[in-house]
Amino acid sequence: MKQNLVCFLCPNSCELTVEETESGLAVRGNRCPRGEAFAKQELLDPQRTLTSSVRIHGAEFPLLSVRSDRPVKKRELLPLMQQLRSVECTAPIKQGDIILSGVGETAVNIIATRTMAAKVRGR
Ligand code: SF4
């Protein structure tokens, strides 16, 4: 098995080739060791940081942007996104506040990525 990947850990965007050998996965094309670890992770257990938004009440805007505090397994992204569709919170919310805790197989926290003040009455 031979697979081509692009490492997205830094702006160099190294084009990686991963090949299965008798001694394990061999990675080529990486300019630093992080690329090798990235390629192996990507093939064996791909993970991503989840980014989305949830409904918020009493704020200037109707949606609050959120993200997972750690990467989650790629296959968990869709179920977690569906779970977030029913989540609602109320202003004020501070950046970094936990909106949902310990969700999914990876037990990540979903945190606010921005501060949302309570809406001033009459505005
Ligand atoms: S392999 Fe290293 S240098 Fe290349 S894109 Fe990945 S992190 Fe950047």
pTM for the full predicted model: 0.82
38 and 55, same structural domain?
Answer: no
Ligand 1 centre distance from Cα of residue 16 (Å): 9
Find the residues whose C-beta lies inside 6 A of ligand 1: 7, 9-10, 12-14, 30-32, 34-35
The two tokens of residue 27 are 């990675």
Q: What is the pLDDT of residues 46-89, one digit of tens each?
A: 999 999 999 999 999 999 999 999 999 999 999 999 999 999 99
120 part of a folded domain: no
27 shares its domain with 6 = yes
Number of domains in the chain: 2
* Residues 32 and 55 grouped into a single domain: no
The ligand 1 atom at the shortest distance from the C-alpha of residue 13 is 5
SS3 track for 50-66: CEEEEEEECECCCEEEE
- Residue numbers of the domain that contains 7: 2-44
66 CA from centroid of ligand 1 (Å): 27
Tens-digit pLDDT profile for residues 45-54? 999 999 999 9
Q: Residue 19: inside a domain, yes or no?
A: yes
30 shares its domain with 64: no
Residue at 91 is within a domain: yes
